[in-house]
Amino acid sequence: MHTVEKIGGTSMSRFDELLDNLLIGERQGERLYNRIFVVSAYAGMTNLLLEHKKTGEPGVYQRFAEARNEGAWLPALETLRERMLAKNAELFPQIFQRQFADRFIEARLDDARECMRSLQRLCSYGHFQMAEHLMKVREMLASLGEAHSAFNAVLALKQRGVAARMIDLTGWQQDQPLAFEEMITRAFEGAEPGRELLIATGYAHCREGLMNTFDRGYSEITFAQIAASTGAREAIIHKEFHLSSADPLLVGSDAVVTIGRTNYDVADQLSNLGMEAIHPRAARTLRRAGIELRIKNAFEPEHAGTLISQDYCSATPCVEIIAGRRDVWGIEVFDQEMLGDIGHDMEISRLLKQLRLYVVNKDSDANSITYYCSGSRKLIDRAARLIEERYPAAEVRLHNLAIVSAIGSDLKVKGILARTVAALAGAGISIQAIHQSIRQVEMQCVVGAEDYDAAIRALHRALIEPENHGDVIAAA
């Protein structure tokens, strides 16, 4: 039986290393096969295509959506083309392969450019409204990133003698969109994973609209559905590092500990902070199909990695991961009219949703609510303006913040909150707000944006390092 394995964008960007271990390495014959890979766009490509995932900086799509003339988005598309061709040049030193790769992606880029031009022309007549078509443009652009990386992966594998085949789920030039599940089931009909290495695009075109339903991080949704539809033995996500007790780039690879086991509840908390151990909706598909999920380091394929299951709970209460989110904006709304009325909260939440601002958390007292949001400064300013217009008596203040969080499948241990707060105070960091819900799976501290790195290090030093877990917390 086969596995279904997703490779994220950060790892795809180190493709040569992937060939040398995960994809081929020492494998020969049968050991090469019975694995279906689902690939994301190379790191940064989807940011250029749509908008930056964390900062909201506009890419081709955002420019197209906001301005109505070609000058606003065409240069961004050409910059993207240069980046994609540069990637091809890096991967394929041989001219023949490189031309083959270039021709494929250039044809798609040209098609997309012509569609967008025609649409803009069409919408200059009053009967056609751009707003009705924007989501389609977003889908079309997103699909380019994964088409690029999947095509190149197959080309490179074939060059090394592996029977690889691209499963192109982007729906390019397909007559009719199919429903998501049907699209995937049909694409794999007749596939023989035992004989060919299948490389599927992490983007899947479908009637529901993948971006519309799940938005960024969508490749994990495709991955989970492929695992469910093809009856995978196990689903594996390959990342740049092992899922660790904190970001190795911040705390140091020597100090962090690999997580051996955890549960979907912890994965949800991580995903809320933008550290997508697994997209919450993808987790649901796998849970329902009864497929276990493993997160592995793409560059250490022999290591068992992290097993995520529904029922796991740490043997003794402890903090497992220190995670966090930079670039959080606190939108503080103070209005004495608010006292005893939840209408304000409902309406402001609706407004933030309409603006597609992600609310990481919120807190309130008698007459104020603060929403901790992530999104571009421009959108945050717009939200503040709209709130002021709706509630003229309200005072709206913006705070540039970060959230740091200690997470564990069981944190019910006396004094742990006190130790968390003391660790930050000891590092000279001022805590601006603090949240712990009654379920006790996470403790969040809100700090100034400039204190993020120091706060993560201080919490790791105080809550994880003294436990002396060795190499792995709860080996699977």
Ligand X SMILES: Nc1ncnc2c1ncn2[C@@H]1O[C@H](COP(=O)(O)OP(=O)(O)O)[C@@H](O)[C@H]1O
Ligand Y SMILES: N[C@@H](CC(=O)OP(=O)(O)O)C(=O)O
CA pair distance 413, 314, nearest whole angstrom: 12
Q: What track of x and - describes contact with ligand Y for positions 220 through 239 (by CB under 6 A)?
A: x-------------------
* Of 88 and 222, CB closest to ligand Y: 222
**Which of residues 214, 218, 241, 372 is near ligand X by CB under 6 A?**
241
CA pair distance 214, 204, nearest whole angstrom: 12
Residue 331 pairs with which residues in a beta bridge?
371, 398
CA 95, 97, 101, 103: dihedral to nearest 10 degrees?
60
* Of 295 and 424, CB closest to ligand X: 295
240 binds ligand X (CB under 6 A): yes
- The DSSP result for 182-233, as a single string, is HHHHHHTTT--TTTSEEEEES----TT-HHHHH-TTTHHHHHHHHHHHHT-S
Give me 291's structure tokens: 């497929």
Taking CB within 5 to 8 Å according to partner kind, which of ligand Y, ligand X, none is near residue 305? Answer: none
Longest Cα–Cα distance of the chain, Å, equals 72
The residue at minimum Cβ distance from ligand X is 8
Taking CB within 5 to 8 Å according to partner kind, which of ligand X, ligand Y, none is near residue 25? Answer: none
Residue 81 CA: distances (Å) to CA of 78, 95, 143, 170, 191 = 5, 18, 14, 18, 32
Taking CB within 5 to 8 Å according to partner kind, which of ligand X, ligand Y, none is near residue 219? Answer: ligand Y
Q: What angle do CA 93, 84, 325 make, to 5 degrees?
A: 120
255 binds ligand X (CB under 6 A): no
9 binds ligand X (CB under 6 A): yes
CA pair distance 424, 437, nearest whole angstrom: 19
244 binds ligand X (CB under 6 A): yes
Q: Which stretch binds ligand X (CB under 6 A): 3-11, 84-92, 164-172, 335-343?
A: 3-11
- Scanning residues 110 to 169, which ones bind ligand Y (CB under 6 A)? 145
CA pair distance 15, 148, nearest whole angstrom: 13
* Of 40 and 229, CB closest to ligand Y: 40
* Of 259 and 298, CB closest to ligand Y: 298
Q: What track of x and - describes contact with ligand X for positions 275 through 294 (by CB under 6 A)?
A: xx------------------
Minimum CB distance to ligand Y, residue 206 (Å): 15
Minimum CB distance to ligand Y, residue 337 (Å): 40
Taking CB within 5 to 8 Å according to partner kind, which of ligand Y, ligand X, none is near residue 11? Answer: ligand X
466: which residues sit within 8 A by CB, 6+ positions away?
none
* Of 8 and 305, CB closest to ligand X: 8
**Which of residues 3, 46, 285, 376 is near ligand Y by CB under 6 A?**
46
Q: What is the CA radius of gyration of the chain?
A: 24
Q: Which stretch binds ligand X (CB under 6 A): 47-55, 235-243, 285-293, 436-444?
A: 235-243
Which alpha helices (H) appear in 427-471, and where do they start and end? 452-463
11 binds ligand X (CB under 6 A): yes
CA pair distance 199, 191, nearest whole angstrom: 11
8 Å CB contact between 147 and 168: yes
Give me 283's structure tokens: 């987790």
- Scanning residues 313 to 352, which ones bind ligand X (CB under 6 A)? 321, 323
Residue 181 CA: distances (Å) to CA of 42, 229, 238 = 25, 8, 23
The residue at minimum Cβ distance from ligand Y is 9
- Residue 434, helix vs strand vs coil: strand
**Which of residues 107, 249, 342, 346 is near ligand X by CB under 6 A?**
249
Residue 406 pairs with which residues in a beta bridge?
322, 443
Residue (of 358, 365, 377) closest to 332 by Cα position:
365
403 binds ligand X (CB under 6 A): no
Minimum CB distance to ligand Y, residue 137 (Å): 16
**Which of residues 18, 65, 243, 357 is near ligand X by CB under 6 A?**
243
Q: Which stretch binds ligand X (CB under 6 A): 115-123, 190-198, 222-230, 242-250?
A: 242-250
Contact residues: ligand Y, CB under 6 A: 8-9, 40-41, 46, 53, 145, 202, 216-220
Point out which residues bind ligand X (CB under 6 A): 8-11, 43, 239-241, 243-244, 246-249, 275-276, 321, 323
